[in-house]
Amino acid sequence: MVKKERISGFTSRVLAVVRRIPPGRIATYGDVARMAGRPRAARAVGNIMRNCNRPDVPCHRVVAAGGRLGGYGGNLGLKRSLLRAEGLVVVGSRIREANARRWPGPGP
């Protein structure tokens, strides 16, 4: 028998938001937290992304404020490569013109 993973309502909402980020666009941890209904939970979003091993969730599209790459389970090289493959310009550990690539755009 396969054991199903139980996830919280907030985690479920976070994963649903991240699945909607289109290729070539990014959202910050704070953006995702806001869209998932908990605007002050950016750190919790980061923890969810760190522990997410689901291929249907494009975690690489979630970045830190200011276009910094943030974490990616310790594999920033892979995150950088995935973002570049989607057309983003990554210089060092930052995305160039990150605000222009944010989805759906900066919030209030």
Predicted TM-score of the model (pTM) = 0.89
How many structural domains compose the chain? 1
Phi/psi for 42 (5° steps) reads: -60, -40
Query: Which tens digits make up the pLDDT trace of 40-89?
Result: 999 999 999 999 989 999 999 999 999 999 888 788 999 999 999 999 99
Residue 69's domain comprises: 9-101
pLDDT for the residue 104 = 86
DSSP letters, 40-82, are T-HHHHHHHHHH---TTS-GGGEE-GGGB---STT-HHHHHHH
The CATH number that applies at residue 50 is 1.10.10.10
Active site residues: 59
Q: Does the residue 3 lie in any domain?
A: no
Burial class (CB in 10 A: 0-12, 13-18, 19+), 62: buried
